[in-house]
Amino acid sequence: MSEQTERSFQKQEAVFLNAKTVSKKNNRWYKDIGLGFKTPTEAIEGTYIDKKCPFTGNVSIRGRILSGVVVSTKMKRTIIIRRDYLHFIPKYQRYEKRHKNLAAHLSPAFIGVEAGDSVTVGQCRPLSKTVRFNVIKHQKKVVKGSKQFQKF
């Protein structure tokens, strides 16, 4: 209903809204991104408009599929992911910890993504200066002792 927050009319390019014979009520276009990833029900039933969403927008997921832990969700529709890895030093035959941050686009189909959750991202075409990845799966952080009191 109130997804028209911008100064131009937000709509899906693939959907024609003004046909004379009104077909099924919510005329929404969505796709299966492939590679065995399930498209979330919020993407199919929701009303958001996001041209950079992998399920309801104009981007294709191809190339690398990576995963990481969410560090920050302060940006509009995009998150920072931290990917930890071990780098081997041959001289000492030991490993050292390193990490890289990655900016990924977060579709409104994924609700309740917080810092600490793990996320799977797929490579897509450049969406902005630093964003080349799009979130395609979300697993909430498992809290041990979930019978304990948590913030609601």
Partner 1 sequence: MGISRDSRHKRSHTGAKRAQYRKKRKFELGRQAANTKLGAKRIHEVRVRGGNKKFRAMRLDTGTFSWGSEAISRKTRVVAVVYNASNNELVRTNTLVKGAIVQIDATPFRQWYENHYAQILGKKKRLTEEEAAESAANKQRSRHLQRTVAARKGNVEQALDEQFVSGRLYAIISSRPGQSGRCDGYILEGKELDFYVRKIRSKK
Residues lying near partner 1 in the complex (CB under 8 A) are found at 4, 6-9, 11, 16-20, 103, 129-130
- Least separation in angstroms between residue 120's CB and partner 1 is 21
- Least separation in angstroms between residue 125's CB and partner 1 is 15
Q: Which is nearer to partner 1, 67 or 101 (CB)?
A: 101
- Least separation in angstroms between residue 124's CB and partner 1 is 17
Q: Which is nearer to partner 1, 9 or 149 (CB)?
A: 9
Q: Which is nearer to partner 1, 70 or 102 (CB)?
A: 102
Q: Tell me which residue of 102, 46, 105, 96 sits closest to 77, measured CA to CA.
A: 105
CA distance 61 to 97: 29
CB 59 within 8 Å of CB 134: yes
CB 38 within 8 Å of CB 105: no
Token couple for 49: 């408009």
